[in-house]
Amino acid sequence: MPVPFPALGEGVEKTADIVISPVNLTANGPAHLGHAGGPFLRMDVLARACRRAGHRVRQVLSNDHFENHVVVKARALGRDPAAFARENDRLIAKGLAALDITFDMFPDTGDPAVLARFFDVAGSLAAALDAGGKVVARREKLPVDDAPVADFEAGAAPIEERFCIGGWFACNCPACGAPSGSFFCEACGAHYSPAEAPQPRSRRGNITGFVDSTCLYLDLNPVDALAQSWARMRIEAPFRAVAQRFLDNSRPEMRLTVPGLHGLAWDDRRFCDRQILFSYSSLLYAHHLLLGAYLADAGGGNPFEAGHPALLIGATAIDNTVPMLAGVTGCALAQTRYRSFDRIYFNHFLHLDGEKFSTSRGHVIWSHDLEGVCGLDTDILRWYLCSIAPEEAAGNFVRAECVAFHERVRATLDHRLHALAAILTSDAEAAQDPDPCPDPGIGATMRDLLQTQHDCLAGDGLRLRRFAATLDAALALGEAIATPAQAQAWMRGFAILASPVMPRLAQELWQAAGLDGAPRCADFARPATRAGSALPRRDGPPLTRAALDALTP
């Protein structure tokens, strides 16, 4: 049965324990606006909406320092992969924080103490999978190339360094013939071994032959169990179709290990080379289990342990559909110690001015560069990103459109706030009653908008575009404000409605209404706890197209 989503309105009878663990980013570069405006902003909005309803929410993240593309990029730059990954880890955290996307826990997996814990967690997962009887050792031939390897004389590097796999490997897909590489086809979803692929080639040299390697795979049979799990998690049909295509085009199994030196080792006597956990199955799941282990340190157990009552929520973009629905979910079903997510939300890509984000072409906006941009209001940028959320199709961040949206919203907000200040400071009624009861008429409309927001979050998918539209309706409601009671109702209502999207403005309005703490659905009609603070303003220098253009390298 699908797991019901907890109530997000005023009358929450039972507080839920919710853990949100989005997919980790590969630490081969900073976070760009496409990352931040995709799964991370969506999960931040969801987390804040759950908290304002009174639920206990913990949002956690760690980044993948061991994915092959970290090594590929580091070697291209002449950098040590471990140091390079830790530098990008810090930039990713800074970039997400620039959009007020924060986490209760964000361990640096390159830190020696965290890494030691990670090895322990990976070992526990490997033991659980082995005990589940679904791990298959497969002897396969993997390509090696003639590319020189740093710190080793020609031909003297360890075999793990000479394998042409991951980001080094290019080919045509054996299932559909499309240009492909690594172990997955982005065109059809097929998962393959490099030896099966036609026209194999190296992106760093020339393939000189194929060498035997014993890797581990996860037997995904019975595949009906996977499909039932997707239904229980209420995975939306387009993303289920991507995962089903993977099963249809491939053997019902998922790679668990690859040969390598940079990663978490999986010890097994059957190996003829050093094998590490594969980033798109066992390692991806181990990241979430590591975060669960750290949450357990705070009390209440590891929420990823079987039987734990927390609602587990994951999120990622469409390119990680197979890793999450076959890799992670397959690992969860193949053993009994750990459990799967209760919900996984997927999104399409966010483009920049109609084209895919591209680091190589410089067509990118790094999220950490948003910090300190002249005239930029982070709250309004979050609102714009929600209004173009890539939920049912690709989204498009258009710089000129963003500037126009930003300036329109800021001017409207400042006009509303200025009018409210005039009502609250000059009205005779306000002088006699500095804490009027919120106007019930406006309160009823705000509650209707809150129910719409609940519907946007509690269905099979997240609909942030509709969610953002409720803020337009609430902002328009401010046009008719004429009395202190209406002003009080609008400030409280808008603070509650806007808090998941515009956390800074929402907190300022809540304090201006004389209320302590953060905006909460249940506190709309609560008497003020202190004298209200001054109403905020949203004036200042304008955001310009030139300021956004300057962010592109």
With DSSP H G I counted as helix, E B as strand and the rest as coil, what are the percentages for the chain, rounded to 5?
45, 15, 40
From CA 466, how far away is CA 460, in angstroms rounded?
14
Name the token pair of 298: 């705070």
Cα–Cα distance, 92 to 109 (Å, whole number) = 13
Q: What is the mean pLDDT of the chain?
A: 92
Question: Contact 175/192 with Cβ under 8 angstroms?
Answer: yes
Q: Please, which residues have CB within 8 angstroms of residue 259's CB and are 6 or more apart in sequence? A: 142, 159, 160, 163, 165, 213, 215, 273, 274, 275, 276
Neighbours of 553 (CB within 10 A): 11
Bridge partners of 171, per DSSP, are: 180
Q: How many residues does the chain have?
A: 553
pLDDT of residue 358: 85
Any residues with CB less than 8 A from the CB of 472 and at least 6 apart, and which?
A: none
Assign 431 a pLDDT band (cuts: 50, 70, 90).
very low
What gap in Å lies between CA 459 and CA 421, rounded to an integer? 38
> Which domains are present in the chain?
17-352 (3.40.50.620), 377-389+398-523 (no CATH)
Q: Which amino acid, one-letter code, is at 15?
A: T
> Per-residue pLDDT for 429 more than 80?
no
Share of the chain above pLDDT 70, in %: 96
Position 11 scores a pLDDT of 64
pLDDT tens digits along 52-76: 999 999 999 999 999 999 999 999 9
pLDDT at 475 over 90: yes
Cα 525 to Cα 491: distance, rounded to the nearest angstrom: 12
